Structure 1
């Protein structure tokens, strides 16, 4: 053992890193056979030497010495974390420290990785942090569960668990969905949303009633991704009240969720929102797009009814989405709706931007039944309307 240390000391003086690496390997191999073969003092020296090589060596030397650290064990963690957290340290050096730390299943490492992931502006370190967290094993999860019990460490523990997208973290995350700290609840709901386990649905439904808007928003997003379970859990009934939430972001996510549900109740809920006088324009425009996603004649009927609104921007949005139909049947029906609207001549259709929108959508639908109406628009007094109508005629004729 002492012989190894003497050889290592001489090799360090000569900067013979290959020999140092070999001797450290032999020394630590003795430790593996008999843990008493290497005392604390010698192990401390081994750490210092390995750290020196890591700091001054080239890439290959660092790559080789990196294999030594897991054999050193826990004494290597603190100095490696110090390098990792030093923003002034060489990027490659921090990358190696991060890579080595990924071999240890310790909660303090997990927490440091999460903090790094949140704070670093270095893309390489962020990627490596995410990859390392993905490798974390059950021992680290169990250690983080213990940290959940302490209010002071709970937030960091939840953040760490949220980065470990493995089924083992579901139960500990469930234990904090009712936590008194809003950020803890938010992170837990967002993380649980990545797991497609049916038993989590009631948790998300309950979170829709949270007093913090960001938690409600994340709960809607989670339920939106499970639209296929709408009938089993009556998701529309749960989400519908949030269409009128006091927070606009929550309302917007509720609209998007309704668009994903694609059933009669969801369409009716969106239609009712479009008829709600106090709903902001941006939300109504979002509802128009969500209704259109349904891809049914019933959805187009709802859009047709709202089309005759006095709100020019809302009507313009409806005209635009009517031009985005995919099936031949819906294209034909959308064309019919636009032609009827144009011929009904409500006052709004005299607006040039409405006529331009109609011309554009009829051109996209490429239905020959629209030609006679487009030809009429081609003689409009407004030059832009003429231009849009001529472009639409060309599009229909090229069908």
Structure 2
């Protein structure tokens, strides 16, 4: 018994969608970020789930060697027709992204996965399959529907019941009327890391242009695009854009060793006695702030698994806008927080033999006025270590 392809019969409409209104906005906003991230042509690009060629064809025009992989023969036929009209060369392969290595081989310099995971039942498997096609250092462009914004469109267009529903349900259907799943930034990051991709920059796509009509005039379209470009990487707007555009790199990195961190922490705790600590009167946020300023360190916080703010952030050093954690028992992780306000730390919790290594991952906040946070951290650490209150 054959399973009907839900995409059959929709190809021509979707190809036209990218020529007008919010489809055109999506294409132009993504290309803004994609093109500077790609290696120069004639690099090899795999467009996985690329449908009718909305992104494959513009890249082929620029001289890229493009392979378009899609499970819908109907949509590939539309891509073939459009490519033939322009005399463009694009290799078209029918099949699922999960079989990418068998179908298209490896050695790609860049991989596009634009609104591909929304239809995937096993997104980690999908991303892992794409990773197997990419050479080391290849760029991944991932575009997905944003879980945090799902209620905005229906809520702003009077569909209040639908807006209420999707507050708690990640499944919705857009203009294609095919149910699909939105995901949070945290989910997407975790999926990328788990499948061999290292997240880099990300932007929000189509916040203000999500509601534009297909027949919007050129002047208004240019204005709304200027606005969406202005907020694409700006907090907090990018977090509630309709789509999330993540760039990642195919890169094998050493994972922080929880065992190494735990052993290091136990050894350090054994050497840490009351006599080895400075007098409590010298432990104040004022003194620490002077030290941080002299070292050009920055104060960051994220959250422990139990929700408490984490305070291992004084080890982060600010150098030319890049925050980095010095190598401490294998836990170093580069992060440019101006573009990527996210932290992954491997830290120790507890004292003595009760030390355990904990992975803390979440939004990282750079504190402009960290005094109160540091005071709280110092008091908490002193109390846990020595069982007495810190007096300053």
TM class by shorter-chain length?
under 0.3
Q: Give the number of the structure whose residues are more often strand, by fraction.
A: 2
Q: Give the number of the structure whose residues are more often helix, by fraction.
A: 1
With the length of structure 2 as denominator, give the TM-score of the two structures.
0.24
Q: More relative contact order in 1 or in 2 (CA 8 Å, sep 6+)?
A: 2
